[in-house]
Structure formats: structure tokens, C-alpha cells
Amino acid sequence: MTTVHLDGKSLTLQDVVNVARKGYKVEIAPEAKEQIKECAASVSEWVKEGRVVYGITTGFGDLASVVIPRDKGRQLQENLLLSHACGYGEPYPEDVVRAIMLLRINTLTRGFSGISLETLQQMVDYLNLGIHPVVPTQGSVGASGDLCPLSHVAISLIGHGEVVYKGQKMSASEALAKVGMKPVELQPKEGLALNNGTTVMNAVAALCIVDAMNMMKNADVAASMSAEALHAVPYAFDRRTHDLRPQVGQGVVAENIRRLIEGSEIIEAFKKDRVQDAYSLRCLPQVHGASRDAIGYVKEKVEIEINSVTDNPIIFHKDGDAISGGNFHGQPMAMAMDFFGIAAAEFASISERRVARLVDHKLSDLPPFLVSDSGVNSGFMIPQYTAAAIVSENKVLAHPSVVDSIPTSANQEDHVSMGGYSARKGRQILDNTNRVIAVEMVNAAQGMDFRAPLKPGKGSGAAFKEFRKHVPFYEKDQFMQPLLLKSLELVENGTVVKAVEEAIGELK
């Protein structure tokens, strides 16, 4: 099936990937449609009755005390979106925009937001037709959710702003004309339902989590290749040690490394000479494992958030209540994504330390900078610089955003989460970490070549064999960047991990 049915309760991370990156269609579940209709009807009735409800018959933020005349209700909602669509910066990539639209539709299908089925269906149609709003990355403080970027999504439904359709950027009105659709006419509460919530930071976070699952496996594989190249000793991975400290991630990494290096002639030949290695090898289960546990925590928070109602006010139409609470506040996602960034950065940090050992002949017992005739050839001297530069960049990015609240809306919104930036920099740290792991894989494979004719373990050997299909042995100095870019491609698309798992079974 290539259609995801949305009820606001059962969306999975795999569904997010399928819609955001594989082009799956979406459809609102029949039972959700009834709830949506009932809620919207209640809001319309309240307006007719003259009830004072925040964001429906009042202004927004510090203007909540201003009562809006009934005949200006539609103008109120449109003005909200137009005025709040004020972002700067590069636009989010297509997969993120699709994830944003998916998650916004999903939360609105719960039927607690007062949006009409007709308006929500327009966003469904956009997603299914491949009409993707241009959404700037800068502008959200993550307090009333992601007001600014979500407004850029929402204004496209009323024919404003820009979209990308069939690979071309155009005005939303032009795209609507091309597909034979008309701009929606917003009803009470609909503008606020569309732009109020944690959807953007959550969309970025969801895709980060999916990609981190691949990154963590690559980190263990690259580490096992470094262990072979540095003729590590296996004692630090002994199950008995880790059973005495039953941290989940630590145990998983130790098991992965044991399986990867099992049967290694290199490690067997050298293990009698030493009893321990440097921390970047000996403690990799503890370091990788702690980051795995942290990312597992973030995954749990993301999975909760993608099926949550996060706008304001929340319409409990069956009870006749509209409650102006704080579910829009991005604190849970902001703290989680700051944690994510720290966890991802540590994979890069320890990876770079293994790279540094590989190129240092005094520590590695390998040719200086992993190349024959060193001196004439610089070999892998400068890729370690590149890794070090990226790790240093990550250290700055890993500073938590959530502690840097800044008041907005005339101090009505006097504590904000900065979750939008927490998510964005989490993405950058993850991308940087993949680059450092790619550098390690290039270096480790080069080191493994110098250990021949001794054979590596079954898993690390499968990684080496697959890697060498795409990146050749570095005999003498040549243009280095293409090798690093190819290694990064293999890391990001999971090619090496797939080869390993075909050889020894799935890694955890």
C-alpha cells in the first residue's frame, strides 16, 4: 500500500519517511472526518452565539483582550497568517516540507482544532499533488509552536506565497490554477489551527531520528574497521563486563562490536601483546552506548509528539469548552533535540580521535599518515584536519538552545523554547557527524590494507570488502575530496551497513 491513512493517533516514523521521501499519498480516515466536522460545527455555533473565545472572536497574543466583530472573523484568520509569514533564511528541503504538511494534517485530524474538513482536505490535496510551499528556516522561537514557518505553509492554501510544483518555484495562486483548485476561504479558528503548534520542529526531529538510526550503525561499523587497523584487543567488549553495568546502549554496542570483529586474525595475532587500548577504542561501547540511549529518549518524545494535539485553544466541543492552554510550547521537543545534538556530536568526537590514532605512526604501528613513501606523499594527514574542524564546529552547535529563552509578543509570551533552532542545529550536527564517520571509514580501510595477509573479522571484513568496491586503496597523493565524498555517500545511503548485515545479520 502506498497510502497512509491519518487518524491523528497512529502515525509512525516509517509513515513519515514513506510520505516525506517515498511519495506516499495520504488520506483522512473516515472516523476522523466525523470528528473534524462536529468540532468545526461547534465553533461556528459559538461564533453565532457571540461567545468570547481566544483566537476566534479575539485578537492574538497580547491582543487577546481585543474582541473582534463577527463580520471580520475571516479577515482575522487571513491577517494572522499573512502577518506571521515573515521568515528569513534558506527554505527547508522538500522532504522536511512534506513531513511538516503530513504532521500538521495528522494533528488536525484529531478533531480538537476547529478546522473544517474542506480546508484540511486542501492541504491533503497539496501533499498528494506534490505542491510544496516554500518555507524559510528562520523565524520560529518555538513558543506558540512554529508560528512563522507554519504560516508560510498555510498562506499557500489561500493563494499567497510561493510553492514548488513539478520542480519549479511559482506563486501559490499559479499552482492552484494549474491544478484547477481555488484558494480556501478560511472559517473561524482555521488560521490559528493551521499555524499554531510544534509541527516544524517535530518534522525536522522525526527525520533526524530516522537518519540517526543509520548513523549509529555506521559509527559501530567504522569503529570496528578502526579496531582492525589499530590491531585492538578484544577484552573491552567482553559480555561479562557489560552485564555488570547493564546500560542498554552500552550492551548493544559491545555486542555489535563482538559480532563485527568475530573471527579476526588481526586481533587474534596482536591480543597477546597488550591488555588494553586507548579510550577511543576501549570505551567505545560506553560512549556510543550513552549516545544511543540519549537518541532513544528523543525517539520516544518524537513518537509521542507526532500524534499529539499542539495548537491553541483546544476545542473540546463535546464538553462545550475551548481551553487556552500551552500545548503549543515547544519545550519537550527543544530539550529533546538539544539532547539529540549533544548525543550525535559525541559520535563524531570519538570517531575523530580514532582517526587521529590511525594517522599517527607512533600510536598505530602503521606507515605515517597511512601512505607508503610518506614525505613525498602527505597521505591522510589533512582529512584528519577536516574531521577535527567539523568536530570543533559541532562543539559550538551542541550548546543548548532551550536555555536561551527570549520574551516575545509584548511579554505575553515571556518564555519560549527555541525548539525550531534546536531541531535545525540537531540536523546540522547529524550531517556533520556522518562526514566525520566517512573520514574514519576511509582511514580505517586504508589501515586495514596494511594488515594483510591477516584477515579481519567477518563483519568488519564485509564492510572493508564493500567499501573497496567504491573507494580504492590510496597508493600515492591524488585529489582527495572525491574519495571522501564517495565515502560519505556510502555512509548516508547505508551501503556498507547493508553489506555487513547481509554477512552477519542485522545490527542493533
Please say if 54 is a catalytic residue.
yes
Q: Are 82 and 160 in contact (CB under 8 A)?
A: yes
- For cell 484568520, name the residue: 77
Grid cell for residue 338: 538539544
Question: How many residues are given for the chain?
Answer: 508
For residues 414 and 408, give the distance between their C-alpha atoms in angstroms, rounded to a whole number: 6
Residue tagged active-site, from 24, 54, 92, 165: 54
The total of other beta-carbon atoms located within 10 Å of residue 309's CB is: 18
Grid cell for residue 314: 483546544
For residues 216 and 464, give the distance between their C-alpha atoms in angstroms, rounded to a whole number: 18
For residues 425 and 477, give the distance between their C-alpha atoms in angstroms, rounded to a whole number: 35
Strands 168-171 and 25-28: unpaired
Tell me whether the omega of the peptide bond preceding residue 313 falls within 30 degrees of 0, making it cis.
yes
Sequence-distant (6+) residues with CB within 8 A of 162 are 133, 134, 156, 169, 170, 171, 172
Q: Are 131 and 181 in contact (CB under 8 A)?
A: no
**DSSP state, residue 452:** T
Q: Are 438 and 491 in contact (CB under 8 A)?
A: yes
- For cell 555488570, name the residue: 244
Q: Are 161 and 152 in contact (CB under 8 A)?
A: yes
Reference 446, options 469, 477, 471; nearest CA is 471
Q: Are 228 and 261 in contact (CB under 8 A)?
A: yes
Q: Are 349 and 432 in contact (CB under 8 A)?
A: no
Rg (CA), the chain: 26
Tell me whether the omega of the peptide bond preceding residue 149 falls within 30 degrees of 0, making it cis.
no
For residues 290 and 254, give the distance between their C-alpha atoms in angstroms, rounded to a whole number: 12
Grid cell for residue 250: 552500552
Active-site amino acid positions: 54
